């Protein structure tokens, strides 16, 4: 029996293997974003309050029945020579009829996801920049960003290559239109 030579592991391969082997403390989450391992602590109550208000509206008001998952790991395409990205949105929405979350692995592909939502926390630039690019590369149609520092909510849409081509921002207190398959105005009056 002859040994088959193996391809040497690249730095990106080693990083991905190390990332997937991480054992983070309970409540913390680890993500691999554009070649950087990012570990975040459990969210504060305000963070969860924003997520709760978004989820309630999407479930009650969307034209299409939506399934929702909090903290679902998504495998996303890489860009700029970095390793495959592994992001955990605060919220992931997909049409209920697709049944994407049943039987899904901890890190699932993003095909079929309609929208992801993030609320900024201690590293706001990750949500504003790096994660936005990752979600666009993954072809996720909509990215909803609640920016606590600027007191605004932005819907990014029309992903192409490394970014979204459209962004619609409203200050807290003003409704933000969510197009189909959602088809309603997200109320942000209680975000203030």
When mean pLDDT is compared across 15-24, 67-76, 179-188, the lowest value belongs to 15-24
Over the stretch 45-88, which tens digit does the pLDDT of each residue have?
Answer: 788 999 999 999 999 999 999 999 988 999 987 655 444 788 99
What is the tens place of the pLDDT at every residue in 92-113?
Answer: 999 999 999 999 998 999 999 9
d(Cα 100, Cα 164) in Å, to the nearest integer? 23
DSSP 34-94: TTEEEEEPPPPHHHHHHHHHHHHHHHHH-SS-EEEEES-EEEE---TTPPPEEE--SEEEE
CATH class of 43-191: alpha beta
Answer whether residue 14 shows pLDDT above 90: no
Residue 160 has pLDDT above 70, yes or no: yes
CB atoms within 10 A of CB 183: 12
pLDDT band for 121, please (50, 70, 90 cuts). confident
- DSSP state at residue 5: P
pLDDT at 123: 64
pLDDT top residue among 44 and 159: 159
């Amino acid at each position: 029996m002859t040994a088959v030579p193996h391809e040497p592991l690249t730095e990106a391969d080693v990083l991905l293997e190390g990332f997937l082997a991480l054992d983070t403390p309970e409540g913390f989450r680890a993500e691999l974003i554009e070649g950087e391992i990012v570990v975040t602590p459990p969210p504060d109550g305000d963070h969860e309050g924003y997520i709760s208000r978004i989820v309630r509206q999407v479930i009650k008001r969307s034209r299409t029945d939506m399934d929702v998952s909090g903290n679902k790991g998504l495998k996303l395409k890489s860009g700029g020579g970095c390793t495959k990205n592994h992001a955990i949105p605060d919220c992931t929405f997909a049409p209920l009829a697709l049944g994407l979350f049943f039987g899904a692995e901890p890190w699932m592909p993003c095909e079929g996801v309609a929208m992801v939502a993030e609320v900024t926390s201690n590293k706001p630039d990750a949500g504003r920049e790096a994660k936005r690019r990752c979600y666009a590369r993954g072809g996720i149609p909509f990215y909803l960003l609640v920016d606590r520092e600027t007191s605004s909510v932005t819907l990014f849409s029309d992903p192409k290559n490394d970014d979204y081509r459209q962004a619609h921002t409203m200050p807290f207190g003003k409704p933000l239109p969510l197009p189909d398959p959602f088809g309603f105005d997200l109320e942000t009056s209680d975000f203030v």
